[in-house]
Chains A and B, each alone.
Chain A
Amino acid sequence: QLQLQESGPGLVKPSETLSLTCSLSGGSISTTRHSWGWIRQPPGKGLEWIGTSDYTGTISYTPSLKSRVTISVDTSKNQFSLRLSSVTAADTAVYYCATMVGSEAWSWGQGTLVTVSS
């Protein structure tokens, strides 16, 4: 069974770039036909899909974040990553990585809280 674990700084300054990594275990990121996605949840609010990269290398982002987001996959490390530039307090959230099949998020990491503050 695939397991995911997010890692990265818990505190980022405004205007800087948020960088998170999701490490996969229990399977190879290059052989499974999943998409690799990021979803976030601001404190006390609902879920927001950020984007995914699928096994063909096709990447999709939510329109509201598209200009600031980069999702990449590193098959040699069995990881995928999220970079979100020019962050503001509105980007404070719990960030989840997930394996996806179409629009379905089947396996989730435990989530990591990222706070944007000076």
Chain B
Amino acid sequence: QSVLTQPPSASGTPGQRVTISCSGSSSNIGSNTVNWYQQFPGTAPKLLIYSNNQRASGVPERFSGSKSGTSASLTISGLQSEDEADYHCATWDDSLSTYVVFGGGTKLTVL
């Protein structure tokens, strides 16, 4: 059971806009910045978005992140076939001590 809640799957057709949500609480998303990772099968995750909405170096502009209250979102505008991957959100949690928590991951399928 992950501390952050993500839908297990999402899908879209090429060119569509897709949004993946990440829901938390006041002790994590509500008081800390959110990061997003992209992971292809059999490979290590790669940092995609940091500090809620900053794209990591080399990340296409079609990827964007946002945060409001205790939820965050990753949006892909103009979906491409190569975007088919797993996406994970993460942030600090301050409830018990200060530690990093992840969402369960969302598998994005490009139809």
Chain A residues near B (Cβ < 8 Å): 45-49, 51, 60-63, 96, 102-106, 108-111
Contacts and interface: CB of A to CB of B under 8 A. Distances in A.
Interface in B33-75: 33, 35, 37, 43-47, 50-51, 56
A104 B47 contact: yes
Given A47-B88, A110-B44, 12 more contacts: A45-B105, A46-B103, A46-B105, A47-B37, A60-B99, A103-B33, A103-B91, A103-B92, A104-B47, A106-B56, A108-B45, A108-B46
B2 A103 contact: no
Given A63-B96, A105-B37, A49 B46 contact: no
Contacts of B90: 47, 49, 103, 105
A83 to B, nearest CB: 18
A47 B97 contact: no
A49 B99 contact: yes
B104 A62 contact: no
Contacts, number: 58
Nearest to A110: B44
The 3 lowest CB-CB distance pairs between A and B, nearest first, are A49-B100, A108-B44, A46-B104
A60 B97 contact: yes
Contacts of B33: 103
B92 to A, nearest CB: 5
Nearest to B49: A104
Contacts of B46: 108
A105 B2 contact: no
A104 B104 CA distance: 17
A46 B88 CA distance: 8
Contacts of A60: 97-99
A103 B15 CA distance: 32
Interface string B76-107: 00000000000010111000111111111100
Contacts of B96: 63
Contact of A47 (B32, B45, B91): B45
A49 B101 contact: yes
Contacts of A111: 44
